[in-house]
Structure 1
């Protein structure tokens, strides 16, 4: 179950709900969390990682944003293959989210590498996304105090797609999308370099011996 804050209904954009549901529900974070909980081969600190309490690190294992949120964004993109985005109305929500994540990359870089002010960052987000300014002001405060975290979403998604395309190319007709997803989800919230090693091992093991 995930909940939608309806306090300001006029700022709730219904056309974003399919993409949001894919990200937070199935096959997004809900499935991701269930996979971790049922993966008894993993140590407990991987299975029960607290994604909302980053401040506990290093006393507890911190959530790996690139892996966790990368899967969330990848799940949104799966909506095309799953035929979730039934018309242009829902595609607007999907691509609105895409634009928002791309703008984050620009703003985070501007703030922490190019000397942007808070006002410049807010203006860029207002000019280039569909989100209300009051929400964007809170978002920019987050980027200021948490360098790189928002960028990690897109970095993780790009890596998962890179690994999927690699597996598809290497395995051809032997590629199994369910098995690929199993490999990605069953390892826990690992760094992207470790995830790549896991997928490479899957590719090697799934390749027919005469083709190696």
Structure 2
């Protein structure tokens, strides 16, 4: 429907799927050299630092310089990247948290489906359910996955 095509952008879902799908690379052995895995870990550290910076600025009252110093000490980003990141989180409170919440919810739903369905669990079907309705709020995603689990169990 049009309201879905032109409506809200659900950061937790969209960015959460991005983070979740990056982890699929681990399962698929895509990070098959130490250098590739180091790159993955570097990005993971960068995202963890985003959470700290977002919280530091908006909850702990950090100055821009404190946030820059934290990212300089804890990431492999360039000075220009760090400044851009800090500016982003100054102007967009909670975005870093939304990313991670989305990833964690999708991982939680996958673990639940895996546990409840046992040998009936199919990863491709799970991904179809997660992506099938497009970007949705996380509570709607959870309801979709729960319905799929119950339907799959019943069959």
Aligned residues: 155
Give the deviation of 1:149 after TM superposition.
1.3
Name the SS of the counterpart of 2:9 in structure 1.
Answer: coil
Instruction: Specify the alignment match of 2:9 in structure 1.
Output: 63
Determine which of 35, 41, 57 is the counterpart of 1:111: 57
Give the deviation of 1:82 after TM superposition.
1.4
Task: Determine which structure has the larger helix proportion and give its number.
Answer: 2
Name the SS of the counterpart of 2:93 in structure 1.
Answer: coil
Determine which of 55, 63, 72 is the counterpart of 2:18: 72
Instruction: Specify the alignment match of 1:177 in structure 2.
Output: 123
The two structures have a TM-score, normalised by structure 2, of: 0.96
Give the deviation of 1:151 after TM superposition.
2.0
Give the deviation of 1:153 after TM superposition.
1.1
Instruction: Specify the alignment match of 1:203 in structure 2.
Output: 149
Residue 27 of structure 2 corresponds to residue 81 of structure 1: yes
Name the SS of the counterpart of 1:105 in structure 2.
Answer: helix
Question: Within 2, Cα distance between the matches of 1:191 and 1:84?
Answer: 30
Name the SS of the counterpart of 2:52 in structure 1.
Answer: helix
Residue 24 of structure 2 corresponds to residue 44 of structure 1: no
Residue 95 of structure 2 corresponds to residue 132 of structure 1: no
Q: Which runs of 5+ in 2 are unaligned?
A: none
Q: Which runs of 5+ in 1 are unaligned?
A: 1-42, 50-60
Instruction: Specify the alignment match of 2:43 in structure 1.
Output: 97
The two structures have a TM-score, normalised by structure 1, of: 0.71
Give the deviation of 1:114 after TM superposition.
0.6
Give the deviation of 1:80 after TM superposition.
1.1
